[in-house]
């Protein structure tokens, strides 16, 4: 009887401790009417994929400022697939060089957002990715 | 294989999907829940409630660990955790942050954590929490820990759902008048004084103890609801359960073993006294009533012309009609045949 809500997992894989961006995004998605599961710092890809399964989320946002995105993101995508959750859409936030952005997108990441990204941009992208 | 059959066979993907169907109130979810119903009734439902920041998530985390690796060498139990956080009344969104304190449980296939947003429900749980608990029960989770939204004085729904309700208090939470008010303290089967290493722990414990001594133990039969036929239940020869007060420091895991043993004693008490069946029966009746109310409302709403409904809402907004008169009008023109005769006191 309640309408379908978009559920998003916001996770910070890897070892950097800068979670301000992740919290800002979580808050913006909340204000856009989404349900945001916030898991906090220093998550392994395994923990993230497991949480995505238990929470049955529509999308996963990975915040990475350590530079390890080319190791962490493909691993998360792989584990989601292995868990039968290939339908979960993945986006990335952080400081990512342009050539890596292209590569991440070719792996199936629908959006990569750097500093200064507007909340309307990623909110719309998430809605579109989840709907389509 | 049906969704319900897959869940009974241990398929976690089917499990997580059904939980979403139930949260979203879909027909598919209701059908699967009915199919699973005969397999429910085995789990021990433990509610954890208390004010925001009292340490509920940390306590749940440590209790779950205790049940997974019991220090007394008993076999580990499968644990499901339902963590409810509030939905924003303005955007309808929510931040569900209880997993943050449950990192220790990651990687254990015997633990399943599900976060839920309250979605407008005011009693400290979400409307779908009972259904989600039933699915976990049928899926073979022996212990189900249910953490409410940070609750103050009136969010007592958890006591209707759980077999055992823990109320978590912390030092510095107000004077002894707070302790004798009705509501959340009354529903405690076990009082947990968390952050017990902080100043003021002794005076809070004293206030709680005074409250317990003043109180006559009350059977947990809710009075805001048509009374259940208690007469048909066997009168309990057992003494009433007196809620113990346990001190914990959840961040360090201090006092968890003692808390777990108090929970086990309470479960044993419920079973011996017949209270377990009484609570189950009450809960199922309440669930039936809630479902009935929702479906009747939805059906009725689907049966009336929306334009007419909006018109009446406008009249109420313009204060031409009182909400009471509006209800009469709506029921008289649509589905009024089943409406009870008007209350003579209103004439």
At A76-110, the pLDDT tens digits run 999 999 999 999 999 999 999 999 999 999 999 99
Task: Please state the rounded mean pLDDT for residues A58-65.
Answer: 95
What confidence score (pLDDT) does residue B232 get?
42
Evaluate if residue B226 carries a pLDDT over 70.
no
**Domain edge (last residue) among B211, B246, B274:** B274
Q: Tell whether B62 and B191 lie within a shared domain.
A: yes
Please check whether residues B1 and B59 belong to one and the same domain.
Answer: no
Among B274, B299, B331, the domain-final residue is: B274
Is the CB of A37 less than 8 angstroms away from the CB of B20?
no
- Phi, psi (deg, nearest 5) at residue B247: -95, 135
82-101 in chain B: CB under 8 A from chain A: 87-88, 91-97, 99-100
- Whether residue B180 is predicted with pLDDT greater than 80 in this model: the reply is no
The Cα B163–Cα B148 span in angstroms is 14
| pLDDT-derived band at B233, boundaries 50, 70, 90 | very low
Q: If contacts are CB pairs under 8 Å, which of residues 87-126 in chain A contact chain B? A: none
Instruction: Give a yes or no: residue A69 inside a domain.
Output: yes
More confident site: B331 or A50: A50
Asked if the Cβ–Cβ distance from A47 to B119 is below 8 Å, we say no
CATH value at residue A92: 3.40.50.280
Classify residue B176: in a domain, yes or no.
yes
Query: Both B157 and B244 in a single domain?
Result: yes
In a domain, B136, yes or no: yes
Contact A40 B99 (CB under 8 A): yes
CATH number, domain containing residue B243:
3.40.50.300
> Looking at the structure, do residues B199 and B108 belong to the same domain, yes or no?
yes
Sign of CA dihedral A79, A88, B120, B303: negative
3-class DSSP state for residue B38? helix
Which stretch of A123-127, A128-132, B286-290 has the lowest confidence by average pLDDT? B286-290
Please check whether residue A24 is in contact with residue A12, taking contact to mean a CB–CB distance below 8 angstroms: no
- CB contact under 8 Å between B107 and A47, yes or no, is yes
B46 shares a domain with B18: no
Is residue B281 domain-resident? no
Residue B266: inside a domain: yes
pLDDT of B224 strictly over 70? no
Q: Report the range of poorest mean pLDDT among B59-73, B91-105, B200-214.
A: B200-214
- Residue A57 backbone dihedrals phi, psi, to 5 degrees: -80, 160
Q: Which two tokens stand for residue B35?
A: 């199919």
Distance CA B80, CA B92 (A): 26
Give the number of domains in chain B: 2
User: How many domains does chain A fold into?
Assistant: 1
- B114 vs A46: CB contact, 8 Å cut-off? no
What residues of chain A lie within 8 A of the CB of B24, using their CB? 2-5
Among B51-65, B153-167, B190-204, whose mean pLDDT is lowest? B153-167
Tell if the CB–CB gap between B93 and A32 is shorter than 8 Å. yes
Instruction: Give burial (CB, 10 Å; 0-12/13-18/19+) of B10.
Output: exposed
For residue A47, what is the nearest residue in chain B, using CA coordinates?
Answer: B106
Mean pLDDT of chain B: 85
Which of A12, A41, A56 to mutate to probe the B interface, most B CBs <10 Å? Answer: A56
**Looking at residue B335, what is its pLDDT?**
60
CB–CB contact A56 B99 (8 Å)? no
Which ipTM was obtained for this model?
0.92
Of residues B94, B114, B298, nearest to A36 (C-beta): B94
Residues of A in contact with B141 (CB under 8 A): none
pLDDT at B231: 40
CB contacts under 8 A, B 103-162 vs A, are: 103, 106-107, 112-115, 117, 119-120, 127
Q: Could you give phi then psi for residue B45, rounded to 5 degrees?
A: -95, 120
B94 and B188 assigned to the same domain: yes
Best residue of B6, B24, B85, B93 to probe chain A, by most A CBs closer than 10 Å: B93
Q: State the pLDDT at residue B84.
A: 93
Share of chain B above pLDDT 70, in %: 84
Residue B152 has pLDDT above 80, yes or no: no
- List the beta strands (DSSP E) in chain B: 44-49, 79-85, 94-96, 111-117, 143-147, 164-169, 190-193, 245-247
Whether residue B116 is found in the same domain as residue B9: no
Q: What 3-state DSSP class applies to B217?
A: coil
Tell me what pLDDT residue B63 has: 96
Percent of chain B with pLDDT over 90: 48
Q: Does A84 touch chain B (CB under 8 A)?
A: yes
Structural domain of B12: 1-39
How many angstroms separate the CA atoms of A82 and A100, rounded?
23
Residues 40-79 of A with CB under 8 A from B: 40, 44, 46-47, 50-51, 53-56
List of chain A residues whose C-beta atoms are within 8 Å of the C-beta of residue B16: 53-56
pLDDT higher at B251 or B339: B251
Residue of A nearest to B19 (CA): A56
pLDDT at residue B336 in the model: 47
Phi and psi for B316 in degrees, rounded to 5?
A: -70, -45
Q: A with B: how many residue pairs have Cβ under 8 Å apart?
A: 90
Same domain, B154 and B21: no
- Does position B344 have pLDDT exceeding 50, yes or no? no
**pLDDT band at B347; cut points 50, 70, 90:** very low
Is A116 a domain residue? Answer: yes
Cβ-contact B152, B145 below 8 angstroms: no
Distance (Å, rounded) from C-alpha B265 to C-alpha B14?
A: 34
For B23, the closest chain A residue by CA position comes to A2
Instruction: Evaluate whether residue A23 is within a structural domain.
Output: yes
Beta sheet of A111-113, edge-to-edge order: A111-113, A89-94, A59-64, A7-11, A35-38, B94-96
> Is residue A1 in some structural domain?
no
Specify if B249 maps to a domain.
yes
pLDDT in tens, B106-136: 888 899 999 999 887 777 888 899 999 999 9
Check pLDDT > 80 for residue B212.
no
pLDDT above 70 (res B154)? no
In a domain, A62, yes or no: yes
**Would B279 be classed as within a structural domain?**
no
pLDDT: which is higher, B266 or A67: B266
pLDDT at residue number B339 = 46
- Mean pLDDT across B142-154: 85
Instruction: Look at B91 and A5 and tell me if their CB atoms are within 8 Å.
Output: no
Please, where are the H alpha helices in B223-305?
256-273, 275-303
Which pLDDT band holds residue B181 (cuts at 50, 70, 90)?
low
Residues B62 and B25 in one domain: no
CB contact under 8 A, B100 and A54: no
Shared-domain flag, residues B138 and B180:
yes
CB atoms A55 and B17 under 8 Å? no
Instruction: Determine the pLDDT at residue B15.
Output: 97
Q: Does A19 touch chain B (CB under 8 A)?
A: no
Q: How far is it, in rounded angstroms, from Cα B331 to Cα B347?
A: 17
- Tens of pLDDT, residues B51-74: 888 999 999 999 999 999 998 888
Residue with the larger pLDDT of the pair B77 and B308 = B77
B207 in any annotated domain: yes
Shared domain for B75 and B4, answered yes or no, is no
Residues of chain B positioned with their CB less than 8 A from the CB of A51? 99, 106, 113
Q: Are residues B111 and B160 in the same domain?
A: yes
Q: Which of B221, B246, B274 is the last residue of a domain?
A: B274
Residue A2 lies in a domain: no
Residue B21 lies in a domain: yes
State the residue range of the domain holding A94. 7-131
């Amino acid at each position: 009887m309640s309408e379908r809500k978009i559920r998003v997992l916001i996770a910070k894989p890897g070892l950097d401790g800068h979670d301000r961006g992740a919290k800002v995004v979580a808050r913006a998605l909340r204000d856009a009417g989404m349900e945001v599961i916030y898991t906090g710092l220093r998550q392994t890809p395994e923990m993230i994929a497991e949480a995505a399964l238990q929470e049955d989320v529509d999308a996963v946002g990975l915040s990475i400022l350590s530079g390890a995105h080319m190791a962490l993101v493909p691993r998360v995508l792989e584990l989601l697939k292995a868990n039968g959750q290939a339908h979960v859409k993945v986006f990335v936030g952080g400081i990512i060089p342009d050539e890596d952005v292209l590569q991440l997108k070719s792996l199936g990441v629908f959006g990569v957002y750097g500093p200064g990204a507007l909340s309307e941009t990623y909110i719309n992208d998430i809605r579109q990715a989840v709907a389509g | 294989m049906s969704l319900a059959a897959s869940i009974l066979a241990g398929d976690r993907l089917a499990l997580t999907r059904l939980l979403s169907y139930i949260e979203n109130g879909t027909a598919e979810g209701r059908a699967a829940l009915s199919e699973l119903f005969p397999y429910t009734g085995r789990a021990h439902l433990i509610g954890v409630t208390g004010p925001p920041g009292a340490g509920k998530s940390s306590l749940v985390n440590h209790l779950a660990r205790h049940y997974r690796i019991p220090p007394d060498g008993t076999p580990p139990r499968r644990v499901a955790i339902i963590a409810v956080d509030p939905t924003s009344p303005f955007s309808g969104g929510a931040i569900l942050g209880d997993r943050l304190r449950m990192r220790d449980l990651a990687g254990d296939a015997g633990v399943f954590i599900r976060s839920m947003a309250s979605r407008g429900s005011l009693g400290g749980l979400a409307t779908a929490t009972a259904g989600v608990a039933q699915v976990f029960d049928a899926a073979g989770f022996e212990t189900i820990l249910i953490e409410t939204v940070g609750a103050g004085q009136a969010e007592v729904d958890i006591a209707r759902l759980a077999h055992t309700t823990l109320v978590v208090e912390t030092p510095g939470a107000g004077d002894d008048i707070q302790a004798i008010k009705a509501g959340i303290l009354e529903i405690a089967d076990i009082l947990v004084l968390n952050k017990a290493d902080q100043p003021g722990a002794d005076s809070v414990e004293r206030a709680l103890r005074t409250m317990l001594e003043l109180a006559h133990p009350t059977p947990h039969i809710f009075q805001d609801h048509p009374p259940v036929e208690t007469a048909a239940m066997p009168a309990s020869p057992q003494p009433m359960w007196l809620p113990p007060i346990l001190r914990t420091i959840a961040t360090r895991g201090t006092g968890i073993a003692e808390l777990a043993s108090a929970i086990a004693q309470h479960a044993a008490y419920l079973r011996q006294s017949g209270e377990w069946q009484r609570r189950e029966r009450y809960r199922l009746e309440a669930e039936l009533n809630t479902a009935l109310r929702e479906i009747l409302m939805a059906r009725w709403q689907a049966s009336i012309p929306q334009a007419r409904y909006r018109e009446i809402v406008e009249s109420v907004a313009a204060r031409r009609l009182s909400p009471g008169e509006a209800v009469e009008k709506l029921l008289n023109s649509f589905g009024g045949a089943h409406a009870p005769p008007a209350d003579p006191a209103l004439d």
